[in-house]
C-alpha cells in the first residue's frame, strides 16, 4: 500500500494514503483515503471564497484560490487546528478547465508541501454565491 502519512502530525489521529489499484493523485493535490482515529474534535469549515477580510474579491482565479486557502487556514486556526488536521476538502469551481485544475493543484501542493494532501472532491459549477466568485473550498478536520 502506498502509505503517505503525515509525519509532522503530532496527535497521530490522521493517516492519508493511496491504495494499490488506484492511480496516484498526488500531482493533483489530494489523497484517495483518510483514516481518522477517534476520539478527536471534529471541525467543519464552511465554504471559503477568495474575498479578503474587507469582502473584496479579486477578478483573478489564481488570487481567489490563494485567498480562499488563506481564509481556510484562518478558520482552522480559530478552532485550534491547522491544514495538517484536514481530512477532506470540497472545492467548487466556476468555469473549470485543465488550467484551473493546475492552479488549484499547485496551490494545494504549496500548502501541504511534505505530506499527503487531504481527500478532495472538485465540483464544477455554473455560479457561486457572489458575483465574480470563481472558487470556494470547504473542509473537514479532526484535531486532538
pTM of the model: 0.82
Q: Nearest to residue 133, comparing CAs of 34, 35, 42, 60? A: 60
Q: How many domains does the chain have?
A: 1
Only one residue has cell 488570487, namely: 63
123 C-beta neighbours (distance < 10 Å), count: 10
- The CATH number that applies at residue 116 is 3.30.1330.40
CA distance readout (Å), 23 to 20, 29, 40, 96: 8, 13, 30, 22
CA distance readout (Å), 101 to 3, 33, 53, 96, 132: 24, 20, 25, 7, 18
**Non-local CB neighbours of 127 within 8 Å, separated by 6+ positions:** 94
- Say what the pLDDT of residue 38 is: 85
User: Residue 27 sits in which domain range?
Assistant: 2-143
* Section 59-86 average pLDDT: 96
Only one residue has cell 473537514, namely: 140
Average pLDDT, the chain: 89
Q: What is the pLDDT of residues 4-31, one digit of tens each?
A: 444 433 357 788 888 888 988 888 888 8
Cβ pair 34, 14 in contact under 8 A: yes
CA distance readout (Å), 120 to 4, 63, 89, 144: 15, 20, 5, 22
- Say what the pLDDT of residue 50 is: 97
Angle separating helix axes 98-111 and 61-78, nearest 10 degrees: 30
Amino acid at each position: 500500500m502506498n502509505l503517505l502519512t503525515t509525519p509532522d502530525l503530532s496527535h497521530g489521529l490522521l493517516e492519508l494514503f493511496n491504495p494499490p489499484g488506484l492511480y496516484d493523485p498526488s500531482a493533483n493535490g489530494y489523497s484517495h483515503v483518510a483514516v481518522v482515529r477517534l476520539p478527536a474534535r471534529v471541525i467543519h469549515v464552511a465554504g471559503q471564497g477568495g474575498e479578503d477580510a474587507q469582502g473584496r474579491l479579486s477578478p483573478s482565479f489564481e488570487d481567489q484560490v490563494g485567498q480562499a486557502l488563506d481564509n481556510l487556514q484562518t478558520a482552522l486556526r480559530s478552532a485550534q487546528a491547522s491544514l495538517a488536521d484536514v481530512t477532506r476538502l470540497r472545492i467548487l469551481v466556476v468555469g473549470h478547465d485543465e488550467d484551473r485544475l493546475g492552479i488549484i493543484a499547485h496551490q494545494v501542493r504549496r500548502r501541504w508541501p511534505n505530506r499527503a494532501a487531504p481527500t478532495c472532491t472538485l465540483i464544477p459549477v455554473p455560479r457561486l454565491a457572489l458575483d465574480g466568485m470563481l472558487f470556494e473550498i470547504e473542509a473537514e478536520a479532526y484535531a486532538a
